[in-house]
Amino acid sequence: MYDYLKGHLVSKQLNSYRGAHIVLDVNNIGYLIHTGISTINRLEEGEVKIYVSLSHKEDSMSLTGFITKEERDIFNILQSVSGIGVKLALLILDEFSISELVDIMIREDFKELSRAKGVGVKVAQKIILELKDKLINWAKVTPDDIEDIEISKDVNKEVIIEVQSVLISLGYSENEAKGAIKEVLSYKKDCSKTEDILKYSLEYLSRAL
């Protein structure tokens, strides 16, 4: 129904009986939008663009908002796990960035995921089991040609395209994605799986940027 709302930021509330939320004035209509603490801390006064997700229960409707489309998409993906609602999905996104979540899924590090408030070990294991493939393949894009990436005979071209797609969907530029992949393939000669190349590419980008 809604993709985003653009308007004047009226107020930010970290703690209230309604939970963390903002009020956005769009053409003289005030929208109350639930969000996470990390989002509120990054919002500045003035006109803002908020990507929203509409939640519809039997007796109520509510909006949850994020600064980026990618955060909103991950929020929706998290809620596809049974037992994960708005509140818990927001707590997870308050604790981890998108790239950190993808890395956790790749490594299947349920102990690290359980650091998020409200996420026990069993819940963390369930999230990883149900979402690993979804997150790795999330928000597919068709990257430009990869002819300038040197690929050994042991690495499938489709693997490189998949890794580049995920990196671009995480907000990295095409050049950043290609540079990271090239770097990984140059010093990880035995690296051929999507999960491994993606993991090392994210590690490289976290150090380089």
- Every domain of the chain and the residues it spans: 4-66, 69-136, 157-208
Please state at what angle helix 98-107 crosses helix 69-78, rounded to 10 degrees.
40
From the options 1.10.3470, 1.10.287, 3.30.450, 1.10.8, give the CATH code of 157-208: 1.10.8
Q: What is the CATH number of domain 4-66?
A: 2.40.50.140
Q: Which of 95-104, 135-144, 165-174, 183-192 has the lowest mean pLDDT?
A: 135-144
pTM, full prediction: 0.68
146 contacts 161 by C-beta, under 8 angstroms: yes
Residue 148 has pLDDT above 80, yes or no: no
Q: Which of 17-31, 56-70, 131-145, 172-186 has the lowest mean pLDDT?
A: 131-145
What confidence tens digit (pLDDT) does each residue in 49-82 have?
A: 999 998 877 777 889 999 988 888 889 888 888 8
Residue 13 has pLDDT above 70, yes or no: yes
- For the stretch 164-174, what's the b/e string if a residue is b when 16 or more beta carbons lie within 10 angstroms of its beta carbon? bbbbbbbebee
Q: What is the pLDDT of residue 83?
A: 85
**What percent of the chain shows pLDDT beyond 90?**
29
Long-range contacts of 129-133 (CB under 8 A, 24+ apart): 130/80, 130/81, 131/77, 131/78, 131/80, 131/81, 131/105, 132/105, 132/106, 132/108
**What percent of the chain shows pLDDT beyond 70?**
89
Q: What is the pLDDT of residue 48?
A: 94
Q: What is the pLDDT of residue 143?
A: 47
H or E, element range at 112? helix 110-113
Q: Which fold is adopted by the domain 69-136?
A: DNA polymerase; domain 1 (1.10.150)
Q: What is the pLDDT of residue 142?
A: 44
Average pLDDT, the chain: 82
